Chains A and B, each alone.
Chain A
Amino acid sequence: MGEPTTKAAPALPSIRGIGEMRHLGLLGALALLVVVGLITRPENFATASNLVSILSLAATIGVITVGATFVIIGGGIDLSVGAVMALASVWATTVATQSYGPVVVAICAILVGTGAGLLNGWLIAYGRLVPFIATLAMLVAARGLAQRMSDRKTQLISEGNFSIVELSTTRLLGIPLLVYIFALVVVLGWILLNRTTFGRRTYAVGGNPEAARLAGIDVRRHSMLLYGLSGLCCGIAAILIMARTTTGSSTHGDLYELDAIAAVIIGGTLLTGGRGTIVGSILGLLIFTLITNLFILNGLNTSDQLIAKGLIIVVAVLLQRRNLKERAP
């Protein structure tokens, strides 16, 4: 896969190509999975309904993955994403919130997500908690609060707020609206990361916090904002999951944090921060979703599916290491 070969011709401007070459590897893996799908399940893999279900499934975690990519490039980790999304979905579907109509439901989900994220960020940046601990605490607490608010019951979206559900039922060119929302988040995330000072600083803060500080960047504030951004993505994801399932529930998004982090890692983002891409993360996520889909279509059991995913993470990290070794001193 995309590592610089030592034998490249002198004239090759290959350094710049490495990033894209790694994506080529991911694309290759994705293509392979598609071929496997076409061979094993020719009758129902390539159907419109299956593709739509893959994309809708990917959309929710996908939005979270965009936020997670920022946090991880910035040198942190957010374990609370699934729980925060669940909390946002519950808060947004309480009887009280729902009485104000769909717009308020959506805004509520976003505010709850962003608020929880900023709280994470504040604890980490100003309270000096280790990201792992702070977000682990948030994971537990947010789930607990979600259970408490919902009395452990699944809260249905009321008739009056069905325009939320329409995000998954309304289709444009055969594709549900929520997939467009996912795409929009990806595009905005890419722009934010690659074209703005915020993105550039994210790389700086994750790559060398001391250098970032001495260059005049407010490292703490920036870290806090990164977690806030991750929370915002959880809020958007909550809207998508409410649309897909027509419910808000404290059990939504269980283990999403692992899927999101795995997708980011497979996509080539270093857990140590400072390096990574949105495109890689999304490709990693699609690979993950496709595997799930193939296992389901082929009627294989979920334990095998988990084993396969575990293997993929290991392989991806090993390939990354080879990439790194080439550049080591």
Chain B
Amino acid sequence: MLVMKGIVKQFPGVRALDGVDLDVRAGEVHCLLGQNGAGKSTLIKVLAGAHQPDEGTISFNGAEVRPGSPIDAIKLGFATIYQELDLVDGLSVAENIFLGHEHARLGFVNRAAGRRAAREVLERLGHPEIRPSAEVGRLPPAAKQVVSMARALSHEARLIIMDEPSAALAHDEVANLFRIIRELTAQGVAVVYISHRLEEIREIGDRVTVLKDGRTVAVGLPARETPTQRIVSLMTGRNVEYVFPPRGGREPGEEVLRVEGLSSPGVFGDVSFSVRAGEIVGLAGLVGSGRSEILEAVYGARPATGRVLLDGRPVRRGVVGTVRRGMGLAPEERKAQALLLDQSVTANITLGTLPGFARFGWIDRKRERAEAQRLSELLDIRPPDPERPIRTLSGGNQQKAVLARWLLGGRKLLLLDEPTRGVDVGARAELYAVIHDLAERGIGVLLVSSEVPEVLGLADRVLVLREGTVIHEGEAGELDEHAVLDMIMNGRAA
């Protein structure tokens, strides 16, 4: 149905796509795999009309097409869910869904019709609870993801492109997403699906195309049968052990963080726990169970009642104070909450610990750059040039920079919210090693992840959250994935 041949896309200083081929059949789920920065997002932006290719041809149903703008692409029947959310925060859910193709007559928007149609799409997505009139800026990230999915579905598309749609979704939401994808493909719609989670590819994918450094290295592999080893080595060019570093050998020290009776009405209630130096504590729970909100409250970025003590002394509310006392938060939504897109990688990495690089306000740029360089290398941020604007990095590489920010400046406690969101398999193993290393050096880590295996594999101790309350606390080694999933979904204690 769709054939792309020899696509080349050049950015200043990088050849993001260097002759990529892709062929997608009607009614299939075609997965696009590749390391961070391999060119996946760029390829789909070419399809979506957001980038113009320098070379190569695209044909759709036999005819050559050239989507010159996003509008062209939509007219062709291509709908796209971008990796970075592209919603207008100030508009309502319904307005966002129908942005550009409003229910209108003679230029007057028919809001009632728009809301009705929005409700229908949202129901189809299994989210009747999202109100069409709600302001998008106030929704949690997962709901935003649903809205951008609803937007793609609102076009009568024949090809739907999804760039890491599951990165912001929890387990049950992903199941929901898959149900919709199956409905679509049954109607003959083709889906191009990008994800770094191989299990998902196995479950939903039909065929796989692998990109490496802007080139196609494998086309049309069967998604279910191809061994993981082979896929990973195609992606990375080496064999990566997709495992967690061994636990043990680490003896947690003094208590760094103590949280007592932390509550925020309607979000979470009476949460108490502690984190010791050199200990990794994981928070497992569904999106909306209050995980991220608890991190923000501990960090002082969100009002809450209760006590938060760092090193035995209560912290004052307000991020300025907690950062000064040695906390750091890597937030969930990198684009909205963490990044300065126009600034260099260096400036983004050092933002939280800038005073440490300055004397009387004067920044020691040499030292700053050297540290940024060191961290880029440690986390393998690509391209390895910290002076580039961070906007030009791929999603996964931006995520590494978000983490890098708090590896500096003697933190005592790190709050990591979805630290590996959008990071590829190879780099993930490296990030795990880095997090372990932090703990080894005596830093306390509080970790939130939608991926239960990640929480279990990385954490020493796990708190299971459901609807804002802690329903279980235990050693990670004594839990398995099923038990945790059962608890977070059904509230049954182990």
Residues on A facing B (Cβ under 8 Å): 4-8, 10-16, 195-198, 200-201, 203-204, 207-208, 210-218, 274-275, 327-329
Contact = CB atoms under 8 A, between A and B. Distances in A.
B338 interface: yes
Contacts of B341: 207-208
Contacts of A10: 10, 13-15
Interface stretch (B318-326, B419-427, B435-443, B457-465): B318-326
A42 B299 CA distance: 66
**A198, A211, A274: which has the most chain B beta carbons within 10 Å?**
A211
Contacts of A12: 12-13
Contact of A197 (B11, B15, B299, B355): B355
A218 B321 CA distance: 9
18 contacts: A4-B11, A8-B10, A8-B12, A8-B13, A15-B12, A15-B389, A195-B365, A197-B355, A197-B361, A203-B342, A203-B343, A207-B341, A210-B337, A212-B351, A215-B338, A216-B322, A216-B323, A329-B84
B336 interface: yes
A213 B319 contact: yes
Given A15-B12, A200-B351, A214-B301, 17 more contacts: A6-B10, A6-B12, A8-B13, A10-B10, A10-B15, A11-B13, A12-B12, A14-B13, A203-B343, A210-B337, A211-B339, A213-B301, A216-B323, A218-B320, A274-B340, A275-B342, A328-B50
Contact of B361 (A15, A196, A327): A196
A204 B319 contact: no
A214 B337 contact: yes
B378 interface: no
Contacts of B338: 211, 214-215
A207 B387 contact: no
B12 A216 contact: no
Nearest to A276: B342
A204 B351 contact: yes
Contacts of A195: 362-363, 365
Nearest to A11: B13
B12 A4 contact: yes
B392 A15 contact: yes
A4 to B, nearest CB: 4
Contacts of B11: 4, 6
B337 A13 contact: no
Nearest to A199: B363
Interface residues of B, number: 46
A215 B54 contact: no
A200 B357 CA distance: 12
**A196, A203, A329: which has the most chain B beta carbons within 10 Å?**
A329
Interface string B376-400: 0000000000011101100000000
B209 to A, nearest CB: 22
A208 B351 CA distance: 12
A215 B15 contact: no
Interface of B: 10-15, 45, 50, 52, 54, 82, 84, 86, 299, 301, 319-320, 322-324, 329, 331, 336-343, 347, 351-352, 354-355, 358, 361-363, 365, 387-389, 391-392, 405
B254 to A, nearest CB: 24
Contacts of B15: 10
Nearest to B347: A200
A7 B337 contact: no
A11 B10 CA distance: 11
B86 A203 contact: no
Nearest to A5: B12
Contact of A208 (B45, B322, B340, B389): B340
Nearest to B368: A200
Nearest to A328: B50
Given A204-B340, A207-B341, A214 B320 contact: no
Given A196-B363, A197-B361, A203 B336 contact: no
Contacts of B52: 6
B334 to A, nearest CB: 9
Given A14-B12, A204-B351, A274-B342, A214 B331 contact: yes
Nearest to B358: A197
A203 B350 CA distance: 13
Given A10-B10, A216-B323, A329-B45, A211 B361 contact: no
A15 B389 CA distance: 8
Nearest to B321: A216
Contacts of B331: 214
Contacts of A6: 10-12, 52, 54
Contacts of A213: 301, 319
A10 B342 CA distance: 22
A85 B151 CA distance: 50
Nearest to A275: B342
Nearest to B388: A15
A74 to B, nearest CB: 13
Contacts of A210: 336-337
Given A6-B10, A6-B54, A10-B15, A197 B363 contact: yes
Contacts of B392: 15, 327
Given A6-B11, A203-B347, A328-B50, A215 B405 contact: yes
Contacts of A204: 340, 343, 351
The 3 closest A-B CB pairs, nearest first, are A216-B323, A14-B12, A215-B352
B364 to A, nearest CB: 10
A32 to B, nearest CB: 27
**B15, B54, B355, B358: which has the most chain A beta carbons within 10 Å?**
B358
Contacts of B13: 8, 10-15
A162 to B, nearest CB: 37
A41 B426 CA distance: 68
B319 A216 contact: yes
A212 B320 CA distance: 10
Contacts of A211: 336-340, 351
Nearest to A10: B15
Nearest to A216: B323
Nearest to A196: B361
B23 to A, nearest CB: 25
Contacts of A215: 319, 323, 338, 351-352, 405
Contacts of A14: 12-13
A97 to B, nearest CB: 32
Contacts of B319: 213-216
Given A7-B54, A12-B12, A216 B320 contact: yes
B179 to A, nearest CB: 28
B363 A207 contact: no
A9 B361 CA distance: 39
